[in-house]
Structure 1
Amino acid sequence: MSARPDFSARLPGYAAPALPRAADPPHLQRLAGATMGTTWSLRVANPHMLPLATIESAVQGALDEVVAQMSHWEPGSFISRFNRAPADTAHAMPDAFARVLRRALHWAAESNGALDPSVGALVGLWGFGPEAADTTAPPPAEALAAVRARSGWRRLRFDADGRLIQPGGLSLDFSGIAKGFAVDAGIEALRALDLHDLLFEVGGELSGTGRRPGGLPWQVAVDPGNGASQRIALSDRAVATSGDRWHVREHAGRRWSHTLDPRTGEPVAHALAAVTVLHGTCMDADALATVLTVLGPGKGLAFADRHDVAALFAERDADGPLRLRESAAWTAAQANPT
């Protein structure tokens, strides 16, 4: 999440909303806006014809709150202030921030650190993020070791009042989960307006709730990157993708993406091009797409099957084409779209 160009949209596996249909009724409406360095879009059944300005204000307000709490690109955000804070200081967390951190720590524990919300300094060291190192080369081993020593989700702790303690030099980065949460937050804001049938997207992460007018589920197209898109139904489900097509660095023949393996401090170096995840919440879909991308094609598929995660893996073959693999839950979801 940032005020910079977003790099996670339109990767292989990117899910695009279906185009409007000629027979769509007037109360099925479309809105769009900008947030986090990317765009948001909404298709919503508005049977009571609420003013579009009211709907837009609710969505934008929810997204602005996420930015104010979780964007490490914004110097005044809660996360940025925590990252700059002195060691051993305690910080009362806003509710949304606390929800995201708790879920990030849940998946960090489940994946043994494949998702780690404390990778901000590592991301910068490899040339990404708001504090990117001014270099195109991989970091020296001693610099990497020093940054790893002050990172790690297990260093996070809380005081008796539930306040988050800055252990010293630890830099949080919610890029692998916060955009998905922003989708969920936008949907919560829309439900508060009594709008329940909608398809909401932020930078390629989508969630569909309720149904289209006429009773059919929302349909989106997933492009695995092999030229053959898949259509999936989003009936009270979300879809998110992680991949390495955009936002890369290259030096002396080595190419690396923004996706780091927090367990090693190194960028991922396997043949997985993208992972698309279906889940009940977009926050979890976003986090799990990150987890599975870090784990790679073999361990990622095993993790998905063990945790009943619906995931589509796009893996590069040696001869060039992408090879697709589905978790058991993905295959079941396609067979049972509603």
Structure 2
Amino acid sequence: MTKGARAADKQIGQILLPPNSDRSAAPPPAGSREVRLGGETMGTVWTLAAFVPSSITDAVVRAALEKIFANIIAGLSQWEAGSAISRFNCAPAGSWQHINRDFARVLDCALNIARASGGAFDPTIGKASELWGFGTAHAPLRRPDDRQAATTRNYSWRDVQTQEFCSRLLQPGGMALDFSGIAKGHAVDAGIEALNRLGIGSALLEIGGELRGCGLRADMMPWWVDLETPPESICPATRVGLANWSVATSGSYVRRVQAGTESWSHTLAADSGLPVDNEVLSVTVFHTGCMQADALATAVLALGETEGLAFADRYGIPARTVTRIRVGESAAWKQWSK
């Protein structure tokens, strides 16, 4: 829900830049060429703008990214029957499942944010996601009731148990993990890391609205990103400059399920298993890691306007909440305003 391309015809109401700009952000080496690539992954699209050494072809860059994305899908996508997360979700009760370092990295981040947010973000939400039409099952023809939702919440993040330095994960019986609120951000981070290994230090990578910019452009400017403005809101058109920062937005107005005259958001309340129903249309979060920004945006949205901004202020998170009639900014967000 963010836009990497600049919109020349848009009247920008707010310009944001990182406070105390990171001096380690550097322009591309002389002789680099600008590359723009894109494709499909994780049920959405990815785009790359980068300055690449002349010795590296577009095909090499594309292959490196697509390999990363394929590996992440094979590990973290519940839409793939043979993925590591699908195998865990279907594993017998009491069995210990091996997970690789990539899976453990995402799980550890998810659990840390669950702990910090009091469970507003919870990776054990898989059964509720299925019930409400955001998993692999067909969307329901009518709205599920509260009792059905409650039956999906037999476990929470507190029940996740690992062994041997997070290389093994216990399936207690019927626990269903869901990384859809964190996996795209992780894929962006992993993609940037793959580009860095190729010697590409100036790039903007986006997957489905989650973005991370590293280094500077050839003109010594950061990577400019236009944030999407929720409809029917007073939110100003906002442009942000990313240099070794990530931005993620979670919204209640885009990914929804319709059943008859009712519709509901994909953001679910982990305690009840019900869709979140508050006034917040969207939440945008900045973080140096896109994985963290992705999950934190979901947590703030689930907490709601008042509690979400209090959470952001407690941990120094640059966050913005948007309702139809208000725009709320955390103290750390205000430091970005120029």
TM-score by length of 1: 0.88
Equivalent runs, 1:68-217 vs 2, <5 Å: 68-132=74-138, 135-149=140-154, 151-160=155-164, 162=166, 163-217=168-222
Match for 1:30 among 33, 36, 39? 36
Q: CA deviation at 1:217?
A: 1.1
Percent identical among aligned pairs is 42
Contact 1:15/1:239 (CA < 8 Å) preserved in 2?
no
Following the alignment from structure 1 to structure 2, what is the Cα–Cα distance between the partners of residues 284 and 160? 24
Is residue 261 from structure 1 mapped to residue 275 from structure 2 by the alignment? Answer: no
**1:334 and 2:337 correspond:** yes
Count the aligned residue pairs.
313
Counterpart contact for 1:136–1:249, Cα < 8 Å: no
Q: Is the 8 A contact 1:232 1:334 kept in 2?
A: no
Partner of 2:243: 235
Matching residue's letter, 1:30: R
Report the Cα distance in structure 2 between the residues aligned to 1:35 and 1:324, rounded to whole angstroms.
Answer: 32
CA distance in 2, matches of 1:62, 1:108: 26
Check the 8 A contact 1:27/1:49 in 2, yes or no.
Answer: no
- Residue 320 of structure 1 corresponds to none
RMSD: 2.0
Give the match's secondary structure for 1:304. helix
Q: Of residues 278, 283, 301 in structure 2, which corresponds to 1:275? A: 283
The SS at the match of 1:76 is coil
* Alpha-carbon shift at residue 252 of structure 1 (Å): 6.6
In structure 2, the residue corresponding to 1:63 is in which secondary structure?
Answer: helix
Give deviations 1:165-201, integer Å, cap 9, x for gaps: 0010000000111100000000010000010001111
The offset of 1:68, in angstroms, is 0.6
Residue 160 of structure 1: CA displacement? 4.6
8 Å CA contact 2:143–2:262 kept in 1: the answer is no
C-alpha displacement at 1:141, in angstroms? 3.9
Which consecutive residues of structure 1, in runs of 5 or more, have no partner in the other structure?
A: 1-9, 318-322
8 Å CA contact retained: 1:310, 1:328: yes
Separation (CA, whole Å) in 2 of partners of 1:32 and 1:141: 42
The verdict on how the C-alpha distance between 1:18 and 1:89 changes in structure 2, with shifts beyond 3 A counting, is same
- Unaligned stretches of 5+ in structure 2? 9-27
Corresponding position: 1:223 with 2:231: no
Structure 2 counterpart of 1:17: 5
Question: Cα deviation per residue 1:190-218 (whole Å; 9 max; x = unaligned)?
Answer: 00001000111111111000000021111
